[in-house]
Amino acid sequence: MIRRMLLLFLLLLGLFSCSRKISETGKASYYADRFSGRKTASGAVFRQNKRTAAHPSLPFGTIVKVTNLKNGRKVKVRINDRGPFVQDRIIDLSKKSARKLGMLSDGVVPVKIRYKKR
């Protein structure tokens, strides 16, 4: 009986430790208009009207679900740039993404990001 319970515990522990979803919490900001039309680190041209974002280390092309922790609004974005380069910020969003999150007037908001491990 104890062996079965131990085996079940180890099996469940293995399943939960292999979770493919990762999350981070921190602050989000959005790009200034002056960056529109410039090349991103991935080589794509930055457009404020696309749902894209910059992250310091996630692979380009990763889809990230961003949740504004102030109001609960969510948006999915594609990582195509590096940054932000300001301490304690974890993601920099296009204006379209920031508008969807309702953060344009705030500028910087607390967020949770979720993405799948590759």
What would the pLDDT profile of 46-97 be if each residue is shown by its tens digit? Answer: 999 999 999 999 999 999 999 999 999 999 999 999 999 998 899 999 999 9
In a domain, 32, yes or no: yes
Nearest to 55 by CA among 69, 45, 65, 70: 65
More confident residue, 58 or 19: 58
Residue 26 lies in a domain: yes
Residue 11 confidence (pLDDT):
57
Q: pTM of the full predicted structure?
A: 0.81
* Amino acid letter for position 95: K
- Integer CA distances (angstroms), 54 to 46, 58, 60, 71, 80, in order: 10, 9, 9, 22, 6
Ranges 15-19, 86-90, 98-102: which has the least confidence: 15-19
Distance in angstroms (rounded) separating the CA atoms of residues 39 and 48: 12
CATH of the domain at 107: 2.40.40.10
Enclosing domain of residue 88:
20-116
Residue-level pLDDT at 9? 61
How confident is residue 7, by pLDDT bands cut at 50, 70 and 90?
low
Q: How many domains does the chain have?
A: 1
